[in-house]
Structure 1
Amino acid sequence: MLSRVANHIYWMERYLERAENTARLIQVNTHLLLDLPRNVMLGWEPIIDMLSFRDVFYEQYKEPDEKSVIKFMVTDTNNPGSIINCLAAARENARIIREIIPTEAWELINNLHMTAKADGQSVLTRRHRFSCLERIITSNQTITGLLGGSMLRGEGYAFLRLGRHLERIDMTSRIIDVRSASLLPSVSQEQSAFENIQWMGVLKSLTAYQMYRQEMRIRINRSDVLEFLMKYHKFPRSLSHGLMQIGKCLKELPNSELIQENVNALSNKLEKLNTQKLPQDGLHEVMDDIQLGVVKIHQSINEQYF
């Protein structure tokens, strides 16, 4: 496969996944703020931190209030990570390779981009926000299902899955990192009663809440949520599952040995990690290490194939 085509497939899927993840983050944060008591400070700034756009945000906005953050993360074309920019980038990549992907997938991606642009003002209000974000999420899930149900299982599909799973690993590690710092500091006895609500928000941000309850069959608590999201390989958005799937993709691609070494190195670090004994102040360091590993995997993919 031509490296140019592989690059467009890879990035099309990464941008689609990023748009869906961001939409879900905003959706969950909106509900979480309604559930938490007034004396538990959460706000909207963590959403900016998760995607590493703090400096870009404060160049344009004074305060991280709800309206400013929603506008920045959804419709602001000056923010490279906004949903509208992610969908525009996904659309452009899909347009270039529209002879490679199913025609229906190109049409869905194009329609999703146009719908998101039309919803630009409505999403700023709580009244219409949920339905606007839900359209983005469900449309992405439809596209994922269509691609999975109709693409040939060749190198193109392997690059698509590489993009999807690497983006998921990146987002899961970011959510755990930022949320664990902002949601679970040393809280008062009164505030500690709301820890389960906060961790529930973490799970819902990754569509993990129902599967966690179904599989773990225990009350929500920090160490078990970390175990589930980081090491439970049966859950599609866990770190270990993503690395396992990337390894399978690499077996279908030529000259992937160096990339596989980087994947194995990160998998081994994760395997040795004891989430039950991981102190709060050590979690950030672990997540930083994982994110550096993700960057290294991406760089090795880029150098080898693009």
Structure 2
Amino acid sequence: MLSRVAENIYWLSRYVERAENTARIVSVNANLLLDLPRGIAPGWRPLIDITGANALFEEHYKDYGERQVVRFLIGDERNSGSILSALSAARENCRTIRDFVPRESWELLNELYLYARDELPKGLTKSGRHVYLKHLIQGAQTMTGMLSGTMLHDQGYDFLHLGRFIERTDMTTRIIDVRSANLLPEETTELRPFETIQWVSVLKSLTGYQAYRRSEQIRVLRGPVLRFLLQHPVFPRSVNYSLESLRKSLEKLPRNEATLRIAGRLKRMLEGVEPRRLNQQQLKSFIDEFQIGVGDLHDEIARTWFLPPPELEPKSPSQSQSQVQTTTTARENKKEERG
């Protein structure tokens, strides 16, 4: 398989996953703010913190109000992580490899992008936001299911898997990092019911509330929720499940030694932690280190399978490399903080 094709398939999957995840967190945050008193509601800034695009946001907006944050995350084309930008990038990647994906998948993705673009004015209103985001989430899930059910499960499908679960691992850890930091202090007994509401919102951000209740069979608590989202072996959006899916796909590809070493290191990190024993600062340090490892895995995937030989290397970064700037910048900032 040509490295260009492998890279486009990888990024197609990442961008579809990114659009779906962003739609989820916007929708859940809107509902969360309705359930919490105004004085303790976290507001809209945490959503920008999750994406790591604070500098870009502040360059174009004066405050973290609802209207500004929603526009930035849903339809601002200056933000490469917005839903509209992600779907546009996924569509472009898919267009260039139409011979490698089922025709119906290309048509579905094209329709989803056109809906996101044409219905954007309605999606930015409070009255139309829910229907708009629900349609995008269902469309992304349909796209994922169609590719799984109709695409040849060859090397191309392995790169599709890599893109999906790299993006999912990154987003899940970001949500845990930011949302747990914004939760109420444990010693605030009188506000404990609201803390439960916020942990429920963390689960709902990943569509994991019902799965959690069925699996854990206890009320929503910090320790069990962290263990479920980080270490559960069969919940499709847990970090552990995503890492195992990455490993299985990596094992099928040639020249996989370096990527498997990094994936193994991440797996050992995850297995060696007891989430319920971590205070907030320890949890943040763990997630920061883990996210750096996820970035290292992406970089190694790119070095191994995507980059052209040095003599053919372009003078400027490729489109897909430049569009991952938000994640890369956030990772570099964490490296600097760690000294």
Structure 1 residues 186-195 or 64-73, which shifts more? 186-195
Show the counterpart of 2:322.
none
Show the counterpart of 1:263.
263
Partner letter of residue 234 of structure 1?
A: V
The number of equivalent residue pairs is: 306
Q: Distance in 2 between matches of 1:276 and 1:75?
A: 38
Q: Distance in 2 between matches of 1:183 and 1:280?
A: 10
Q: Distance in 1 between matches of 2:234 and 2:103?
A: 32
Show the counterpart of 1:81.
81
Alignment of 1:108-127 (within 5 A): 108-127=108-127
Structure 1 residues 220-229 or 275-284, which shifts more? 275-284
Q: Distance in 2 between matches of 1:33 and 1:132?
A: 19
Show the counterpart of 1:50.
50
- Is the Cα–Cα contact under 8 Å of residues 184 and 191 in structure 2 kept in the other structure? no
Q: Distance in 1 between matches of 2:184 and 2:145?
A: 35
TM-score by length of structure 1 reads 0.98
Deviation at 1:41, TM superposition (A): 3.2
- Is the Cα–Cα contact under 8 Å of residues 40 and 191 in structure 1 kept in the other structure? no
TM-score by length of structure 2 reads 0.89
1:130-165 deviations in whole A, cap 9, x for unaligned?
000001000011111100001111000000000001
Give the SS at the match of 2:182: helix
1:13-44 deviations in whole A, cap 9, x for unaligned?
00000000000000000000000112213000
Deviation at 1:188, TM superposition (A): 2.9
- Is the Cα–Cα contact under 8 Å of residues 75 and 84 in structure 2 kept in the other structure? yes
- Is the Cα–Cα contact under 8 Å of residues 102 and 147 in structure 1 kept in the other structure? yes
Change (3 A) 1:129 1:187: farther
Q: Distance in 1 between matches of 2:165 and 2:233?
A: 13
Give the SS at the match of 1:99: coil
Partner letter of residue 81 of structure 2?
A: G
Change (3 A) 1:15 1:257: same
Alignment of 1:94-105 (within 5 A): 94-105=94-105
Show the counterpart of 2:301.
301
Structure 1 residues 97-106 or 191-200, which shifts more? 191-200
Show the counterpart of 1:170.
170
- Is the Cα–Cα contact under 8 Å of residues 275 and 283 in structure 2 kept in the other structure? no
- Is the Cα–Cα contact under 8 Å of residues 224 and 276 in structure 2 kept in the other structure? yes
Q: Distance in 2 between matches of 1:110 and 1:61?
A: 30
Q: Distance in 1 between matches of 2:216 and 2:119?
A: 38
Q: Distance in 2 between matches of 1:34 and 1:276?
A: 28
- Is the Cα–Cα contact under 8 Å of residues 259 and 300 in structure 2 kept in the other structure? yes
Unmatched runs of 5 consecutive residues or more in structure 2? 307-339
Give the SS at the match of 2:43: coil
Partner letter of residue 111 of structure 2?
A: N
Unmatched runs of 5 consecutive residues or more in structure 1? none
Q: Distance in 1 between matches of 2:294 and 2:234?
A: 20
Give the SS at the match of 1:121: helix
Deviation at 1:191, TM superposition (A): 1.9
Q: Distance in 1 between matches of 2:96 and 2:286?
A: 38
Structure 1 residues 270-279 or 6-15, which shifts more? 270-279
Show the counterpart of 1:106.
106
Alignment of 1:210-289 (within 5 A): 210-289=210-289
Q: Distance in 2 between matches of 1:184 and 1:297?
A: 33
1:53-103 deviations in whole A, cap 9, x for unaligned?
101111111111100000011111111111100000000000000111000
1:226-283 deviations in whole A, cap 9, x for unaligned?
0000001111111111110101001111010110000000100110101121112211
Alignment of 1:129-144 (within 5 A): 129-144=129-144
Structure 1 residues 35-44 or 149-158, which shifts more? 35-44
Structure 1 residues 34-43 or 128-137, which shifts more? 34-43
Structure 1 residues 38-47 or 132-141, which shifts more? 38-47
Q: Distance in 2 between matches of 1:250 and 1:72?
A: 34
What RMSD over aligned residues (CA atoms) do the two structures have, in Å? 0.9
Deviation at 1:186, TM superposition (A): 5.0
Q: Distance in 2 between matches of 1:220 and 1:81?
A: 31
Partner letter of residue 4 of structure 1?
A: R
Partner letter of residue 134 of structure 1?
A: K
